Chains A and B, each alone.
Chain A
Amino acid sequence: MIKHLLSINQLSREDVNRILDTAESFREVGTRVIKKVPALRGRTVVNLFYENSTRTRISFELAAKRLSADVINFSTSGSSVSKGESLKDTALTLQAMGADAIVIRHSSSGAPYTLTKWVRASVLNAGDGTHEHPTQALLDLFTIREHFEDFQGLRAAIVGDVRHSRVARSLTLALNKMGASVMLVGPPTLIPPEAPAWGAEVSHDLDGALPKLDVCYMLRVQRERQRQQFFPSVREYSRLFGLSQRRVEQLPEHAVVMHPGPMNRGVEIASDVADLPRAVITDQVTNGIAVRMSLLYLIVGAGDGPPRAAAAEANLQLPDPELQEVAGA
């Protein structure tokens, strides 16, 4: 497996299958009387959140705790970060405290890549800017797999603000990797012209796309984009690209509706549609814990030495020459 999870691009199809298969076992753990296994006992997982995201943080926190890891939540408000500490110094501090894995959410695209230069811990990207959100894509695949036998030949549409969506990027790459076909649907201003190079079709006509879909994935639309004039009004957006009751009826019987949350009911998805049985949005949330357990287990559970020795080294030794060089560089 991989040392860090930064982008879906790092994963092979076999890696994805292994992550999803292992997640099945963790879902079983979630049905036990005691929903906790000792797999990562004694390991430390840090949730380093530079952006508020209670949902993702809690999901990772629960995943780590169910693996018996110690969890530290390091959020930017009220911490040294709000006093102007740089990402590098925060990273060196977490390294010195012996973190085995750092889960990072950051508003800057690429921040997880930068973090890997400064720490020995594994880095898991929990969403970076408008780049990627690989764990979301993997839990989406897991949820899709519950409803469809095979990704091969599956037809999915991702609808909305593709340009600014890290979910859309990761999910398009992930579905494509697994053999599904992806259509990106939205106003031309919200779909990068280069999107076909990700292996996706582009359409600006939601109604035309619906009857052919197995998965209709709605993206959250931020009102801020209207202020930036990517579309003239929320009303017009909703009229053209919102999943209304009328539109959902155009979907084939078996098709599922997904959304990464949090939803803007009445904007990209009608409130009644969000509550339909075929809207598997809460399943996505549930599956998030199992998939994140799987990732933490596969990444942190792979090692190159006894954990106690590594912890002792981190605690007792001065930063190694490599880190000192970085510190002085």
Chain B
Amino acid sequence: MPKRVLIRGARLVDPGAEFDGVTDVLVEDELVAAVGDGLAAPSGAEVIEGDGLVLAPGLVDLHAHFREPGFEHKETVETGSRAAAAGGYTAVCAMPNTDPVADNLSVILEVRALADKAGLCDVFPAGAITKGLAGEALAEIGEMAEAGVKLFTDDGHSVQSSRVMRLALEYGKAFDIIICQHAQDEGLTEGWQMHEGHYSAMLGLVGYPAEAEEITAAREIALARLTGGRLHLTHLSAAGSVAAVRAGKAKGVRVTADVTPHHLALLDADLVDYDTNLKMNPPLRTEEHRAALRSGLADGTIDVVATDHAPHAPEEKEVEFDQSPTGTTGLETALAVVLTELVEPGLLPLSDAVARLSTVPASILGLEEHGGPVLAGRPANLVVFDPAAAWTVGERGYQSMGRNSAFHGRALHGRVLHSLLRGTFTVRDGEPTR
């Protein structure tokens, strides 16, 4: 007897099928069995009354740090997967800055094995562009690409050499992979602590000018144009970067970009009491930059919202500001932040939000099983959330080992109720199933 779940009367938001409306979805074992109005509940089916709820393809994160192997005191693949499921994600691209670095197939395979064992979320490890993230010699991109790795990045570091970037973009063309750059001209950011501007001057913290990102972003777009390689610029923070991507796309350059929920929501002004949870790379910037990121996301210049989920141990974050590592957790709050900060005020339609959080990142990574469309016969990777439910971040703790949420204590709207990975509940009624 097959396992059946009927989600009745929820608003199905499915950009992949260009569908947005109230309907019923029947899940049978691993697959979507039927989509349509007035579906009868087969005997033995679990029925979820979806009135007022939203049903969408499971979310897909292009950018998360699961820390394993090497930094298991911050996060493991299992705890990161659980945090992802709790946030409505069914697929996550894990960053390669582990120890050892994922610059070779064996680390990639280890992460995949850990993810399979956890079984809470599909994990697609990214590979490093250069050996040891040193920015010098290319890693064995080909071998990893043949094993299915789609995205390569030295994230945490920015590849400084334009020659190395050029070679990576060129070399990657053979495998149709994506070279993903964290854009930062390190010559302009020595000793940096926060965005360079009024607040850095006021708080006595060394600045990281927006230009440090904009210069590198513009360079990479020029190199992508030169080489014809596929470029992805991750966690954009500066208005000039958005403009550069817009101009690049207009010229037909193969460039995509993402932005984090925290850069969409927060500002450098929020750092006035030196909260280390707000210390990130790139740093939170001014209203002008945030407005450019929001409009870039709304008009499609920025393709994706990615979390840059960066968990750290409490003792690493509870220190003097300049001694704190950068990063905030994000998987458990991304959807709610986008709903609260962008959808609710009318800056982004809900269907576009789902597209940026699920459909588009799945398509960039070439993930057939994720991001919808939600149609009969397709894998049942789904999320059900209550867009109106109010909650306070951290009130019930975190699934991630990292408690360093930039949104800790904030009131948000939008709560994930159920996550289904190939028809199996990974989260039910807001709680992970294991």
A interface vs B, CB < 8 Å? 86-88, 106, 108-111, 113-114, 128-132, 166, 169, 192-195, 197-198, 329
Contact = CB atoms under 8 A, between A and B. Distances in A.
23 contacts: A86-B318, A86-B319, A87-B319, A88-B318, A108-B322, A109-B204, A109-B321, A110-B205, A110-B274, A113-B274, A129-B204, A129-B322, A130-B205, A130-B206, A131-B203, A131-B204, A166-B204, A169-B202, A194-B201, A195-B201, A197-B198, A197-B201, A197-B202
A114 B206 CA distance: 18
Contacts of B314: 329
A268 B70 CA distance: 50
Interface residues of B, number: 22
B286 to A, nearest CB: 11
A68 B276 CA distance: 37
A184 to B, nearest CB: 11
B54 to A, nearest CB: 33
B202 A198 contact: yes
Interface of B: 193, 197-198, 200-206, 273-274, 276, 314-315, 318-323, 403
Contact of B315 (A86, A194, A198): A86
Contacts of B318: 86, 88, 329
A113 B206 CA distance: 17
A111 B203 CA distance: 11
Given A108-B323, A192-B201, 17 more contacts: A86-B315, A86-B319, A88-B315, A88-B319, A106-B320, A108-B320, A109-B205, A109-B274, A110-B205, A110-B274, A111-B320, A113-B273, A129-B322, A130-B206, A169-B202, A194-B197, A195-B201
Contacts of A197: 198, 201-202
A87 B323 CA distance: 11
Contacts of A86: 315, 318-319
A114 B277 CA distance: 12
A132 B272 CA distance: 13
Contacts of A114: 274, 276, 319-321
A197 B200 CA distance: 12
B321 A110 contact: yes
B325 to A, nearest CB: 14
Given A109-B274, A194-B198, A329-B403, A87 B320 contact: yes
For the complex of A and B, 8 pairs with smallest distance between CB atoms? A131-B204, A110-B274, A108-B320, A109-B204, A130-B204, A194-B201, A192-B201, A110-B321
SS class, residues of chain A in contact with chain B: mixed
Most buried by A among B315, B321, B403: B321
Contacts of A169: 202, 204
Contacts of B200: 192, 194
A66 B194 CA distance: 41
A208 B319 CA distance: 45
Contacts of B273: 110, 113
Contacts of B206: 130
Contacts of B204: 109-110, 128-132, 166, 169
Contacts of B323: 108
A106 B321 CA distance: 11
B203 to A, nearest CB: 6
Contacts of A106: 320
Nearest to A109: B204
A109 B203 contact: yes
Contacts of B276: 114
